[in-house]
Amino acid sequence: MDLGIKDKVALVLASSKGLGKSVALGLAREGAKVIICGRDRNVLGETENEIKNSTGAKVFSIPCDLTQEDQRRNLTKLSKDKWGSVDILVTNTGGPPPGSFEEFELDDWDGLFNHLFLSAVDVIKKVLPDMKENNYGRILTITSISVKQPVDNLISSNAVRSAILGFMKSLSNEVATYGITVNNIMPGFTLTGRLKKLMDENPKFGEVEDLIPMKRLGTPEEFASAAVFLVSESASYITGASLPVDGGWIKGF
Ligand code: NAD
């Protein structure tokens, strides 16, 4: 199926590793011009080369710490200088620390809000005017299954990510007549570096497979397939939606 992504400019946040990288790779396979970003210049360079070599697509990497406003501004400016306005934006960040309520101080919440919420909102604010002018855009936020069903010992994610959900749903309504879709994708337990670390540090995470109806973890490739579809031309009538890619983990309907 031609997803209609060829030559679209796609900016994927936090994409040197893990889910962001798998989405960048999926978009590159469909012929998009992909801009990746992350904090570590070396890892980013390796990822850029890996995606270029395996897909032949145009890939450009920009070092950026998404918690810093000046770096976000630089990211969107360099991206526009390179290939013009962004058609597809996938927001993502590194995962928040695990822990329960007692383990977080007020300052921690400030940091979490900046990291998980403001980083996405600000990049969206910076690319949206061009999307409106072009009457075209795809915005997809990577959140977590935690926005539909809290994950134990992950109060930071459970709390702050829910704000993104409300923001995305409101935004989807505000920009719907501009040909811009705004959706949210919720990864379940997916085998990335972050999950391996969480499993190593917390033995309880080792038991998660038992709670997944499919009795296995997801792969980054399975996640990317769904994400790429949601930002494609083929998904033109889907907006304001939240899609779980979780092997059935979320219990509600
Ligand atoms: P990961 O640790 O494998 O990759 C995270 C990426 O974010 C890396 O490229 C890292 O360099 C980048 N990053 C981190 N902080 C950054 C910053 N300040 N600025 C720029 N880049 C930054 O994690 P992942 O498993 O790919 O998870 C991605 C997101 O999805 C996280 O927010 C995570 O909480 C969420 N999530 C993951 C799972 C899972 O099972 N993997 C499940 C639910 C939600």
Query: How much is the average pLDDT of 11-35?
Result: 98
**pLDDT over 90 (residue 199):** no
Residue 182 lies in a domain: yes
C-alpha 170/C-alpha 184 separation (Å) is: 12
- Which residue's CA is the closest to the ligand 1 atom numbered 13? 94
Q: For position 156, which CATH number holds?
A: 3.40.50.720
CA of 24 to the centre of ligand 1 (A): 13
Cβ atoms < 10 Å from Cβ of 54: 11
Q: Give residue 146's pLDDT band: very low, low, confident or very high (50, 70, 90).
A: very high
Residue 141 lies in a domain: yes
pLDDT in tens, 100-120: 999 999 999 999 999 999 999
**pLDDT over 80 (residue 165):** yes
CA-based nearest residue to 16, from 63, 58, 55: 63
Residue 1 lies in a domain: no
Mutate to test the pocket of ligand 1, among 93, 116, 165 (most ligand atoms within 8 A of CB): 93
pLDDT at 200: 83
Mean pLDDT of the chain: 96
Q: Give residue 197's pLDDT band: very low, low, confident or very high (50, 70, 90).
A: confident
C-alpha 249/C-alpha 230 separation (Å) is: 20
**pLDDT over 90 (residue 196):** no
Residue 86 lies in a domain: yes
C-alpha 151/C-alpha 188 separation (Å) is: 10
pLDDT in tens, 47-97: 999 999 999 999 999 999 999 999 999 999 999 999 999 999 999 999 999
CB-based contacts of 213, cutoff 8 Å, min separation 6: 247, 248, 249
- What domain count does the chain have? 1
pLDDT at 207: 84
Mutate to test the pocket of ligand 1, among 12, 13, 15, 19 (most ligand atoms within 8 A of CB): 19
Residue 253 lies in a domain: no
pTM of the model: 0.97
pLDDT at 216: 96
User: Hey, CA dihedral for 90, 95, 101, 106, is it positive or negative?
Assistant: negative
CA of 177 to the centre of ligand 1 (A): 32
Give residues (CB < 6 A) around ligand 1: 14, 16-20, 38-39, 64-67, 92-95, 142, 144, 187, 189-190, 192-195
Residue 249 lies in a domain: no
**pLDDT over 80 (residue 203):** no
**pLDDT over 80 (residue 204):** no
Parent domain of 36 = 9-244
Asked if 10 contacts 87 with a C-beta cutoff of 8 angstroms, the reply is yes
pLDDT at 127: 98
pLDDT at 201: 80
